[in-house]
A and B are shown apart, each in its own frame.
Chain A
Amino acid sequence: MNRKGEEAFDPARKTIYWMIAGVMIVLVVLAFSGTLVGYKNKLTYYPPKLKAELISSRFANIPECFAYQDKISGRVYPGVIDLNKFTNATLYDCYHTGQEKGYEDYNFRLKLYNKSTEVLTNNYFNKDDFTLFRKVLVNNKGKSSEDMLYIFVQVNI
């Protein structure tokens, strides 16, 4: 190319250079902010199973949920499920999520393996993310038997 031609091409070359440089700069800035956000998420992460374990500890441990409570002495037996209480209504009083966006919260399906009975929280839509298991005793009209409580957890939809 002669000198005149080179001079004429110069502004076009700069424009192309800056277009590529602009894209590269934007990519670098986006990658950097992505890294920061990712790092922040990593720092604030906690395992969903931990939260589910802690929430579900109430089901078999407190009398407001399914734990058996002696009517005369008032003593609560943690880990002993009162079969009479094992209903959806009791579960609603024990744990329920918001009517509008409750599906974004943890929901549960509880099943007593030997009794084949199950109860659901109000926004449970059969999307099991994981399952927790808990050995329990079931009190049915004064008679106790061993059972396994299956806690199916729906983290969110």
Chain B
Amino acid sequence: MNTQASSILMMIFEIIVVILVVVIVSQAAVGFAKSDTVVKVNTATDLALMVNTLIGTPGDGVTAYPYNVSKYTFILSSGSVMVITPDEPEFKRVTRTFNLPKGFSAEGVVENKERLCLEKNAHKLILRECNKNES
């Protein structure tokens, strides 16, 4: 191969590599911007903290989550709260744990509802959709 052809080939290769790097970095940035992982993590953390707050409050009570969460499904159990979006792989689910006192239990599934309420009723914590007068 002569020198000129070789240098043109190298130049094309260099341009392809630069374009590839730019595309990869842009894809990563766009993927990060579109991802709602941060929202899910923050919501799961907020709910776990809400559970701890209600547990530490004497008597019964209801607390409403102050954001629209209609994009997500929530599963509350005695020990954890999970936030998922439909049709997502298992590894993308976000779970936050908490520790309940003996005799307490927690349960509830809320699917794609705008308003989310956490209720403490004696020794039971219930995650449910808020009633109209609660939000």
**Would A33 and B28 count as touching, CB distance under 8 A?**
yes
User: Is B49 in the interface zone, CB < 8 Å from A?
Assistant: yes
Please pick, from A40, A50, A58, A61, the residue contacting B49 in the complex, using a CB distance under 8 A.
Answer: A50
**Would A95 and B38 count as touching, CB distance under 8 A?**
no
Q: Mark A25-50, 1 if CB is under 8 A from B, else 0.
A: 10011001100100010011010001
How many chain B residues touch A (Cβ–Cβ < 8 Å)? 29
Number of A-B contacts (CB under 8 A): 78
Dominant SS at the A interface? helix
Dominant SS at the B interface? helix
Contact of A58 with B37 at beta-carbon distance under 8 Å, contacts A10-B3, A36-B32 already known: no
| Residue of chain B at shortest CB distance from A7 | B3
- Minimum CB–CB distance from A123 to chain B (whole Å) comes to 11
**Which B residues are within 8 Å of any A CB, using their own CB?**
3, 6, 10, 17, 21, 24-25, 28-29, 32, 37-38, 41-42, 45, 49, 52-53, 55-59, 97, 99, 101-104
